[in-house]
Structure 1
Amino acid sequence: MTEQPAPTVNYVEQLLELFAACGDKEAVVCAERRLSYAQMRTMVLELATKLRDRGVRPGAGVALLVRNTPESIALQLALHLLGCRTVWIARYPPYREQVEFIEQAQVEVLIYDPERTGRLTEELTHRAEPLQILCAGPGGQGPDLLEPVEPGTPEFVRAPGTPEPSSLFYTGGTSGRPRLVHHEHRFFLALLAAAGYYRSIGELGMRHLSTTAFVHVSGQMPALLTLAEDGLLLLAERVDLESFLDTIRDERLTSVFISPARLSELLDSPLLDGADLSSLRYLNCGGGPISPTRLAQGIERFGPVLRPVYGLSELPLVADQPFMVNDPEHPERLASAGKPFADTRIEIRGEKDELLGTGEIGEVCAAGSLVMTGYWNDPEGSAQTMAGGFLHTGDLGYLDEHGYLFLVDRKKDMIVTSVGAANVYTRPIEDVLASHPDVRAAAVIGVPDPGWGEAAHAYVVLAPDATVSVEELQELVERELSDLHAPRGIDFVESLPRTALDKVDKRALRARHYEDPERRTVSDLAPR
């Protein structure tokens, strides 16, 4: 990736100019609060003044453990105005992992919401070299940054020579240790450039509901894009289906994000019959594979607003399919992740990092202005993941002759089976199982098999009053794919376990498979 020249203007200063131009126009809605762009600008500048006065130095690493509120956005912008490195702590990792994350990130300051944490803050304040503690709200162990400023306080001005800001985001590592995804200033400048492009083509007035917290880069990207496009951002952490539909109707939302699990819930809900979704322009769906059957149902119900998106913490938007239709001439595109987003370039590479051709399955590799710089304080992991200037995603897929990307599996989830050591991918099996009218969801893992080395094992959620049998589903997969793909065993379950980010938790499925010491590794059916 070519290096960009050092910018002379901090991206936050550019945002604040936009905020000033928008004035009293509504910017952020959170529960009963409705803040204008002018109020958001004032909040950012006041927080920057308080942080500077509390001794937060330019370039410091500052950890944040806060809720999905306007203050979380304003804190990032204020810290980035100071040239700090923000370190976002997710709630869901185990306590020990949160501590390790903070230690790896070389944090000097912790800003936390007193309603959000307990044990973590206690340890950090009683260690040999305690962190400076600041609070986003009253009642905590440090000064409250949200107290009103003294009247007559001069407006904050960024000092010359302030370091470029950056952010660290948590992602789980394959070794079990957290990895710190490092996005530098150029990432945020690229977001503003993308917003400028959307404004230039008249894509203004976006009204986006953000249920993905600002702690995640996948939450920050649409939030900052919305604000940089003069739009309205609605913040929520947990929204049930009824509230979700009511909010779309009442706020005339044009953009929302849902997971594949939430899309299925929405399609199966009787609440959908009376819902008014006429304002939607983008019903973004991502965070995991979407079965073509469910996608076709969604397109039929919602129209071309349904937009599959594919991204990672390291590159929050790799590919998308805006304005998707169920094209009878290209039915295979229902299984596609779409085409590269913005300036992203996608290549498919083999086991020796060689470039593969059209239709050949290999690792999905990507480059572009939104790709991370690397993993913080992990040169070996960064060099491996960013080999050749491309992000190696760990996902397996292929490109068709029209440039559409098709994902078939996670590299670590691929099943090597039979005496010929054939590669079997779980995504096609899951899609075939989900195509049966009695099946609502399916997940496939590889398990040891004495005759095959590894074999596919499926967990299937059935529709109410379903009558399909294990044998019928095995025969369906064998007929549509091959005998190597047919699951040797199938468990019918009420639901699939999910991670905190609403992805199917295959690690939990593997653990469930081995919970029973008498667990057989093959089904009653002999290998075909």
Structure 2
Amino acid sequence: MTAPEAPTEAAPPTAAAHQVTSRPPGIAELVSRHAARQPHTPAVICAGRTTDYERLDRESNRTAWAILGSGIPAGGRVAYLGRESEHYYEVFVACAKARMVLVPINWRLTAPEIEHILRDSASELLFVTTDLRATAERAIGPHADVWIVVVDGPAPGAAAGLPAGPDRGHHLAVWKESHSTAAVEGVGPGGASSGPDDPILQLYTSGTTGLPKGVVLAQRSLHAVREALAGAGLDWIDWRPGDLALVGIPGFHVGGIWWASQNLAAGVTNVVLPAFDGRTAVRLIRDLGVTTACVVPSMLRLMLAEPEADRAAFRTLRKIVYGGSPISESLLRESLEIFDCEFAQIYGLTETGNTAVCLPPVDHRPGSLRLRAAGRPYPGIEAKVIGPDGSTLPTGDVGEICLRTPARMIGYWNLPEATARTLVDGWVHTGDAGRLDADGYVHILDRVKDLIIVAGENIYPNEIENALAHHPAVADVAVIGVPDDRFGEAVQAFVAPRDGQEVRARDLVVFLRDRIATFKIPSRFEFVDRIPRNPSGKILRRELREPYWAGRDRRVN
């Protein structure tokens, strides 16, 4: 990427921006429509700051023109590292307008983990919040050709130049201030408008190799389910004029950016938290009159634990959408009682463009056997269960769940073999073991992949094992997920020390802090003489897991 020159007034949009086509409107076009029709409706409320649709449209235009002026070609990758805020959604919409692919980065990752994502995605531009700039600088290193744009904090005057730090950055307010507020939709190769199959997001999800893979999602991934529900006249998940929608799941997760994009597409208000905490969430729902929310089960538990959590605090709520991990029966019963609103459970993967299966409100009746199910596929989405040989199994038989959805990923970035293993003839192989019942409901029973889900975060044991193996006192290690009442599952490490060496759990935790994100660090350690392995050297995880999951009809919690 070449160093952008001083901001200049951008050229006006091409005529192609105004052509009428039969394609579904993208998120950029929908935000602009809402800005024209309901300019003063809040689009994003965060930490007491309100951004209406007119401002979101105007400022995302400026940011889009600034990105285009930086020399990044259409389809280029633009990364974002920061907590939830209106700035994130401005950059998201700007990237859509400029036909760039946004790469949201989990702000809890360490500098080496961030460095891998920046390098793998070939991002040339990184938007970052002030509190994470130092981490971003460490991740980039002294020689990488990545430009930083700081999105928040005090902006230096135009005459003051760049913010303090290496001479390769800007402050967003200064960088975009001289750029046009004119519409950008339609700018691209040949002036063509972006289409439903054009990539818009690249989200990194952990993998069994220990290195995160970039899941590339298209425009259609953001609107396929909403259109399917509307076309069938179903209100499993719906949006109404005047809704205030709490975005509990962070925007670097597919669930968070999917939910927020649905709200923007519907022209309702996103209520976002820089980082989720139960007390703030309860107060926002109560004080702002929040009507809908999307959360993971652990967030429900955190809210219910607050002294202010009662029916009066949640009187305006009409629907809670939850997913990301299974929910316990006791937590669901308490949630139905205290929140006193409709509930919809969603199930899917980053690879399926988020939700592909839904347990609608009608199935959330106390005592219903359907509460044990993940749900049923949306209209136009199919589910099947396959055996080890790939053949489709009869109803009731347990095997790997596969989903066919129009919202599915384009593929893994630069990983054709991994894509071919996961996406087969249009079917996404989920890695989850389960069955279909006679009514077509999906039941999740176990995992085919070695996956741990802690408070909605996907964690793969191999990544932690690789990090622990570098400790000089560790001879061998294995990591599994065990049941946990608060977060669903907890990460447990079995460690075999080297002969004659002593190591403590505290030492290993400190060792891991600069190597993997905090949420991946095991909360439990057990020191053993050896790690059970088969003749080919593979860890016998099922043997390690059995004592913790024995007596449960599901091997997920």
Superposed pair shares fold, TM > 0.5: yes
Paired letter, 1:142: G
Alignment counterpart, residue 240 of structure 2, candidates 204, 223, 229: 204
Residue 161 (structure 1) aligns with: 192
1:15 aligns with 2:31: yes
Alpha-carbon distance between aligned partners in 2 of 1:200 and 1:274, rounded to the nearest angstrom: 27
What's the CA shift string for 1:165-201, capped at 9, x where partnerless?
4211010111101111110233235367469769998
Query: Which position in structure 2 is the counterpart of 1:145?
Result: 172
Matched, 1:272 2:309: yes
C-alpha separation in 1, matches of 2:139 and 2:359 = 46
Distance 2:129 2:97 in 1: 21
Instruction: Give structure 2 stretches of 5+ with no counterpart.
Output: 1-20, 156-162, 454-460, 462-479, 487-517, 533-542, 552-557
Query: Are 1:314 and 2:351 matched, yes or no?
Result: yes
Aligned residues of 2:121 and 2:413 also touching (Cα < 8 A): yes
- How far the C-alpha of 1:299 sits from its partner, in A, is 2.5
- Alignment equivalent of 1:379, drawn from 412, 416, 436: 416
Q: What's the CA shift string for 1:409-460, capped at 9, x where partnerless?
A: 111359xxxxxxxxxxx99xxxxxxxxxxxxxxxxx9xxxxxxxxxx99656
Closer, same or farther in 2 for the Cα pair 1:412/1:268, shift >3 Å? same
Matched, 1:86 2:105: no
Q: Which amino acid aligns with 2:355?
A: L
1:517 to partner: Cα distance: 4.9
Write the letter of the residue equivalent to 1:24: H
Task: Tell me the distance in 2 between the aligned counterparts of 1:37 and 1:26.
Answer: 6
Structure 2 match to 1:222: 259
Partner of residue 172, structure 1: 206
Residues of 2 paired with 1:152 and 1:100: CA distance?
32
1:55 correspondence with 2:71: yes
* Letter in structure 2 aligned against 1:72: Y
Asked if structure 1 preserves the Cα contact closer than 8 Å seen for 2:203 and 2:254, the reply is yes
Do 2:232 and 2:379's aligned partners in 1 also have CA atoms closer than 8 Å? no
The answer to whether residue 163 in structure 2 is matched with residue 131 in structure 1 is no
Maintained 8 Å contact 1:136/1:144: yes
In the TM superposition, what whole-angstrom CA distance separates every residue of 1:256-308 from its partner, at most 9, and x where no partner exists? 12322233344455433464212112122222111223323333444451222
Q: Where does structure 1 differ by over 6 angstroms across 4 or more consecutive aligned residues?
A: 198-202, 504-507, 518-524
User: Which residue of the partner structure matches residue 287 of structure 1?
Assistant: 324
What's 1:237 paired with? 274
Deviation at 1:66, TM superposition (A): 2.7
- Find the residue that maps to 1:146 and give its secondary structure: helix
SS in 1 for 2:443: strand
Identity of aligned residues (%): 25
Give, in whole Å, the separation in 1 of the partners of 2:70 and 2:53: 26
Contact 1:208–1:232 at 8 Å: present in 2 too? yes
Native 8 Å contact 1:192 1:228 kept in 2: no
Q: Note the C-alpha offset of 1:156.
A: 3.9
Describe the shift of the 1:136–1:320 C-alpha distance in structure 2 as closer, same or farther (beyond 3 A): same
How far the C-alpha of 1:155 sits from its partner, in A, is: 1.4
Structure 2 SS opposite 1:45: helix
Question: Does the 8 Å CA contact 1:166/1:183 hold for their aligned counterparts?
Answer: yes
Structure 1 residues 389, 45: closer, same or farther in 2, change over 3 A?
A: same
Question: Counterpart of 2:433 in 1: which secondary structure?
Answer: strand
CA 1:348–1:64: 2 relative to 1, 3 Å: same
Relative contact order (alpha carbons < 8 A, sep ≥ 6): 1 or 2 greater? 2
Q: Give per-residue Cα distances to partners, 1:223-267, cap 9 Å, x unaligned.
A: 111121121111113243232222112211111123222333444
Q: Of 517, 522, 527, which aligns to 1:515?
A: 527
Q: Distance in 2 between matches of 1:238 and 1:374?
A: 30
The separation in 1 between residues aligned to 2:178 and 2:147, in whole angstroms, is 26
1:52–1:196 CA distance, 2 compared to 1 (3 A): farther
Q: Is the 8 A contact 1:196 1:229 kept in 2?
A: no
Task: Please identify, of 97-106 and 390-399, the stretch whose mean Cα deviation from structure 2 is larger.
Answer: 97-106
Partner of 2:439: 402
Distance 1:266 1:165 in 2: 36
The equivalent residue for 2:57 is 41
RMSD of aligned Cα (Å): 3.7
Unaligned regions of 5+ residues in structure 1, if any? 415-425, 428-444, 446-455, 463-503
Determine if contact 2:199/2:217 at 8 Å carries over to the other structure: no
| Alignment-derived partner of residue 323 in structure 1 | 361
Task: Give 2:288's aligned residue.
Answer: 251
Which residue of 2 is the match for residue 442 of structure 1? Answer: none
Letter aligned with residue 322 of structure 1? P
Partner residue in 2 for 1:430: none
Counterpart residue number, 1:99: 115
Specify the alignment match of 1:471 in structure 2. none
Cα distance change of structure 1 residues 229 and 150 upon mapping to structure 2, 3 Å threshold: closer
Deviation at 1:507, TM superposition (A): 8.4
Relative to structure 1, is the Cα distance of residues 238 and 505 closer, same or farther in structure 2, using a 3 angstrom cutoff?
closer
Counterpart of 1:208 in 2: which secondary structure? Answer: strand
Please give the alpha-carbon distance, in whole angstroms, between the structure 1 residues aligned to 2:256 and 2:108: 15
SS in 1 for 2:432: strand
TM-score (norm 1): 0.73
Look up the SS of the partner of 1:213 in the other structure: coil
Q: 1:319 to 1:506 in 2, by over 3 A?
A: farther
Residues of 2 paired with 1:460 and 1:8: CA distance?
A: 43
User: 1:343 & 1:256 partners in 2: Cα distance?
Assistant: 25
Aligned residues: 440
Aligned to 1:188: 222
Change (3 A) 1:204 1:148: farther
